[in-house]
Structure 1
Amino acid sequence: MHLNASAPPPTPTRARTVGVVIAAVLLLVGGLLLTYPDRAGAAADPLISNGRPATASSVESSALGPQNAVDGAPATRWASAEGKDPQWISVDLGATADVTRVALRWEAAYAKAYRIEVSADGATWTRLASETAGNGGTDDWTALSGQGRYLRVYGTARGTSYGYSLYEVEVYGTFDGGPPPTGAFTVVAAGDIAAQCTASDSGCAHPKTAALAQRINPKFYLTMGDNQYDDARIADYRAYYDKTWGVFKDRTHPVPGNHETYDPAGSLVGYKSYFGAIAYPQGKSYYSFDEGSWHFIALDSNSFDQSAQIDWLKADLAHNSKACIAAYWHHPLYSSGGHGNDPVSKPVWKILYAARTDLVLNGHDHHYERFAPQDPDGRATADGIVEIVGGMGGAEPYPIENVQPNSQKRISGQYGVLKLDFTDSGYGWTYVGTDDQIKDTSPKYACH
């Protein structure tokens, strides 16, 4: 059965199909795949959401993440937590687009009422279309007219007692300045993470940052040390970190902080026992790996005074063939927080600066801060290194104490994660709070 509602442009047109019934009929008459009504009228605009990063307000389980709604596979799906309104799923299109059509394929847990919205920054949303009498199946909205980088389906009333579940969110349109750069991928990063508390304690932050990190569903995760408090014993890793950030351990590239050295069993013993080869892929507590056009260098700032790591770093950079370089470790050279600037990192900065490194990520101070490009001596320069302090993963926040030169933005007291967007020629990021709101957006940088 088809229920249609239409009006003159720019009012969107929706064709609604009860998916299970139609699919069964088509299979009986010829084994055809489900097709959408009114598709011919919008065929000129390409599908621009497939494979793009997706986030959601919640997930029913790790197997039902938001990425399933943009993978082009009809059998996979996103599902929200059950019994709660509102819920949403958002797609990052990668660049500003003119959106002309959105097709939603609902699972049995559908939305009775929802909005389709677009946003330039992921924070301020404009409504494209709304539904108040949904009945599941497929909703195909055509004749849409909206512009933004992000598209969100925001459910306000469930059609069942369950949650919201979508097999596919298909967004059609055209990009204003051409399609997003190739080689794009997303990374989530944070430091100073797991206090000795669990989700049963409403004030415990690391379960919330882990849930946010999982909703973003990046290519991989980075940790910038002090992963487990207070002395990183293996028993504490298993009791706390493993229950939250450990859910995606196999996609994590960690580094140790100073708290990992406090283990009574020996420096880094619990850290190494918990992460194993993930933290020691090259047999040392420092290592490197590649993704796309990027070379990532994971360093152990507890041993910057040892020549073995410095010699390894020089050799690693000499053999690097990637166009862009990012490095991460625990102790920041520059910070406006309680620990302040840490000169232990300056010799490493000099080596990285000479190799035209683009980005450095650190923790240690429990706040968020970004710096303008600068050289190892703190002089602003266009070919300098961009540093981010990201120690807001769950440990008690530190106040801002002494604002450093070239510090562009500082946030203390709000837990969250870095959502880093890399392309084959540049990068940018947002700081996302545990309330799913974007707290800061960086400039867009080109690789050196």
Structure 2
Amino acid sequence: MSRARLALAACLSLVASLLVVAVATSAGAAETLLSQGKPAASSSKESSSYTAAKAFDGDPTGTRWASQEGHDPEWLRVDLGSSQQITHVKLFWEDAYGKSYKIQTSDDASTWATVYSTTAGDGGLDDLQITGAGRYVRMYGSKRGTSYGYSLYEMQVFGGGTTPTDPPTTPTPTPGGSFTVAAAGDIAEQCTSSDSGCMHPKTATLVQNMNPQFVITMGDNQYDDARLSDFQNYYAKSWGAFKAKTHPAPGNHETYDPAGSEAGYKSYFGSIAFPQGKSYYSYDQGNWHFIALDSNSFDQSAQLTWLKADLAATTKGCIAAYWHHPLFSSGEHGNNPASKPAWQALQDAHADLVLTGHDHIYERFAPQSAGAQADPNGLVEVVGGMGGASPYKIENVQPNSQKRLTDTFGVLKLTFTDSTYGWQLIGVDGQVKDTSPTYTCH
């Protein structure tokens, strides 16, 4: 049967389904339809005729949202305007349906809680009983049921009332724009929690306990060759729990995949790691602009050109960047001069913080210039390669280095406000191993 004929049949079925919804609502059901006409967004759209808003306009036969074809993952989101209790969600699929997808809720459109998931979607009408709460509700599709994309005639969210008095499942920013971020590089060795010496499950527990707004990784997410199967067998079983709120950067091990440079990394993270179609990207939180760079390709002018344009365009008052290979490091790998042009572009734009990995140590530096001169207007760098890979030695202490630790596994707990930042290094024993000064943005 052709796609057009399938769509017509689906439309007739949906009309009948919506009539049932209308009867149930008019019969005095306690639920309220919360989503119709509310602001919507999506990861992509097939064309201007298939925008996210079309899935919340109450027209089940003439309009629909459709993602770009042939791509996973994709998502569709609605903003309910305030945090609400959610009782169930109805998905009216066009013939391009989701086979594996989740329903997720959030209070900030950044950190998501999964309230329903399936790997056996078959299209048609999905009427899902939900227990959850949030201002934002999204369908997050990870595997298409057809060769097309994802397409919904209508997505209806039902519930009503304010959120429960139970503790929130997602972090809420505190007054002053404060939020917490967890960060580390050099993470998943080829081991699991069944091995008592395996560290990445232990550092993942630290992240879980921090309940951060989002997670940053500074490369070498997966060892040794970073194949998709390696990600699935190791990283996914620890740090994969935070995949939906992770903003990763690649390292040199992501280039070792025999299937192609960064192939496994790209297959595992998908648009999470390539939200703008490139392995480098930017995003905002509060008064902060965050930039993820790919230091594997610092020798290519396109990334530096993009970086300078991105810095010129931001209106945020504070800037942080992260990548894998540090410009300065006292560890075995030492300094990486290829990072100098990116550092200089960031300093010229009055950026504040750089997070890196590569050397499996912890090190923090005083503010400095790209030429290693102490400079209060320079960048603060942290080497945070202690996410789970075997430790390296401290070999050649660099100028402006303030603190160095090896044989320490842990996670950076960074705290950002509208005008300041600082961090603690939390070890796998739960103890604070180092506390930074509190810095003021440039």
Residue identity opposite 1:304 in structure 2: F
Say if 1:398 and 1:412, in contact at 8 Å, map to a contact too: yes
Indicate which of 321, 332, 335 corresponds to 1:327. Answer: 321
* Aligned positions, number: 281
Q: Does 1:372 align with 2:393?
A: no
Map 1:126-137 onto structure 2 (within 5 A).
Answer: none
- Equivalent position of 1:428 in the other structure: 422
Residue identity opposite 2:385 in structure 1: G
Indicate which of 203, 224, 239 corresponds to 1:245. Answer: 239
TM-aligned CA deviation for residue 252 of structure 1: 0.1
Residue identity opposite 1:352 in structure 2: L
Q: Structure 1 436/73 Cα, relative in aligned 2: closer, same or farther at 3 Å? A: farther
Indicate which of 270, 278, 285 corresponds to 1:284. Answer: 278
Indicate which of 359, 381, 386 corresponds to 2:353. Answer: 359
Q: Does 1:273 align with 2:267?
A: yes
- Equivalent position of 1:74 in the other structure: 165
Q: Does 1:295 align with 2:289?
A: yes
Map 1:3-402 onto structure 2 (within 5 A).
Answer: 73-76=164-167, 182-402=176-396
Give the Cα separation in 1 of the matches to 2:186 and 2:165.
Answer: 39
Give the Cα separation in 1 of the matches to 2:432 and 2:188.
Answer: 22
Q: Deviations over 1:201-260 (max 9, x none)?
A: 000000000011111000000000000000100000000000000011000000000000
Q: Structure 1 264/439 Cα, relative in aligned 2: closer, same or farther at 3 Å? A: same
Give the Cα separation in 2 of the matches to 1:319 and 1:258.
Answer: 29
Q: Deviations over 1:309-348 (max 9, x none)?
A: 1111011011010000000000000000000001010111
TM-aligned CA deviation for residue 307 of structure 1: 1.0
Three-state SS of the structure 1 residue aligned to 2:249 is coil
Q: Which runs of 5+ in 2 are unaligned?
A: 1-106, 108-161
Give the Cα separation in 2 of the matches to 1:72 and 1:425.
Answer: 31
Three-state SS of the structure 2 residue aligned to 1:254 is strand
Three-state SS of the structure 2 residue aligned to 1:302 is helix
Residue identity opposite 1:239 in structure 2: N
Residue identity opposite 1:400 in structure 2: I
Q: Deviations over 1:149-175 (max 9, x none)?
A: xxxxxxxxxxxxxxxxxxxxxxxxxxx
Three-state SS of the structure 1 residue aligned to 2:244 is helix
User: Could you tell me the TM-score, scaled by structure 1's length?
Assistant: 0.61
Residue identity opposite 1:408 in structure 2: Q
TM-aligned CA deviation for residue 379 of structure 1: 0.4
Indicate which of 421, 426, 438 corresponds to 2:432. Answer: 438
Give the Cα separation in 2 of the matches to 1:342 and 1:349.
Answer: 11
Give the Cα separation in 1 of the matches to 2:353 and 2:308.
Answer: 17
Residue identity opposite 1:74 in structure 2: T
Q: CA RMSD in A?
A: 1.9
TM-aligned CA deviation for residue 76 of structure 1: 4.3
Three-state SS of the structure 1 residue aligned to 2:209 is helix
Residue identity opposite 1:309 in structure 2: Q
Give the Cα separation in 1 of the matches to 2:168 and 2:282.
Answer: 34
Give the Cα separation in 2 of the matches to 1:323 and 1:181.
Answer: 17
Say if 1:181 and 1:424, in contact at 8 Å, map to a contact too: no
- Equivalent position of 1:159 in the other structure: none
Q: Deviations over 1:61-101 (max 9, x none)?
A: xxxxxxxxxx99423489xxxxxxxxxxxx99x9xxxxxxx
TM-aligned CA deviation for residue 399 of structure 1: 1.0
Give the Cα separation in 2 of the matches to 1:395 and 1:344.
Answer: 23
Say if 1:304 and 1:344, in contact at 8 Å, map to a contact too: yes
Say if 1:301 and 1:330, in contact at 8 Å, map to a contact too: yes
Give the Cα separation in 2 of the matches to 1:395 and 1:413.
Answer: 10
TM-aligned CA deviation for residue 411 of structure 1: 0.7
Residue identity opposite 2:165 in structure 1: P
Give the Cα separation in 1 of the matches to 2:356 and 2:382.
Answer: 6
Give the Cα separation in 2 of the matches to 1:402 and 1:440.
Answer: 20
- Equivalent position of 2:52 in the other structure: none
- Equivalent position of 1:408 in the other structure: 402
Say if 1:256 and 1:329, in contact at 8 Å, map to a contact too: yes
Q: Deviations over 1:22-52 (max 9, x none)?
A: xxxxxxxxxxxxxxxxxxxxxxxxxxxxx9x
Three-state SS of the structure 1 residue aligned to 2:310 is helix
Give the Cα separation in 2 of the matches to 1:429 and 1:235.
Answer: 33
TM-aligned CA deviation for residue 372 of structure 1: 0.1
Residue identity opposite 2:422 in structure 1: G
- Equivalent position of 2:145 in the other structure: none
Three-state SS of the structure 2 residue aligned to 1:296 is strand
Give the Cα separation in 2 of the matches to 1:74 and 1:184.
Answer: 22
